A = this chain, B = another copy of it.
């Protein structure tokens, strides 16, 4: 059986992306057949700077504008490069030349400097495919899907509407292959509103859950947010739907920081990603002890 072909976008070149790719190629190639979206010139420069040799079977792909490495600095050209690398990976997936893409971390500020209008990977995928991509983070112990993502906290409550939630839960359920197990849906308010005393948006959540469960036979259940991740409750679920960014990600990262990955659901292509940033503080430093757990888990999830 031949290994799955995957495209790996290299992320921000002034961060830890290239180092992760070079250092872990010997592991990655046992799991997949990787194509790294970077050009020879830049790869050579990075290899020299990092003092890590380029493996012989390190397959690269794509055309890129000339770009200098400026360690730990957000630059316009690094923003452009990581965008082009990601775009190249998407194109490979769209043309079916790879079965999935794995993304290394970009720098959002660098994208802004390069005049790229997207907040990040998921946002861009949503636009490219005109689909409501769902951002899910986690690891084999638990996954958290986000109903709202990168919006101010004060705007979250406005998004909690039955119709919108119904679509989200339906899309999510289908994307994860309709498991026959309970799935936690977190309330919005403290104590899930305590019967409306501490906020009443739970009524929309409950209505959406009822409708989707009826339609699909799914087992979505409303759970009180602050106890959702206690050992007893979390043992009941593999999947959690959080209403907002920190509600899901703070507990997830408290429990499983190093090993978590980011998966984009509800798209025509498969995309996974590391769950950490560019780590400028560690980039191009000797003995930086960068954990590869999230990267390797992202590769594993991509080839499942």
Q: Which residues of A come within 8 Å of B, CB atoms?
A: 108, 119, 149-158, 188-191, 193-194, 197-201, 225-232, 234, 244-247, 249-251, 253-255, 257
Of the A-B pairs whose beta carbons lie under 8 Å apart in the complex, a sample of 10, sorted by A's number, is: A152-B189, A153-B188, A153-B189, A154-B154, A154-B199, A190-B244, A190-B245, A227-B253, A247-B247, A250-B251
Cross-chain contact A228 with B250 (CB below 8 angstroms): yes
- Residues of B contacting A245 with CB < 8 Å? 190, 226
User: Which residues of B have CB within 8 Å of A200?
Assistant: 152
For the residues of A in contact with B, the DSSP-based class is helix
Contacts of A193 in B (CB 8 A): 152
Out of B150, B189, B194, B254, name the residue touching A190 (CB < 8 Å): B150
Q: Are B153 and A199 in contact (CB under 8 A)?
A: yes
Nearest 3 CB-CB pairs, A to B? Answer: A152-B199, A154-B157, A229-B254
Given known A108-B194, A189-B153, A194-B108, contact A246–B231 (CB-CB < 8 A): no
B225 touches A190 (CB 8 A): no
User: How far, in whole Å, are A232 and B276 apart by their CA atoms in the complex?
Assistant: 13
Do B253 and A229 touch (CB < 8 A)?
yes
Closest CB in chain B relative to A258 CB, distance in Å: 8
| Residues in chain B near residue A246, CB distance under 8 A | 190, 225-226, 247
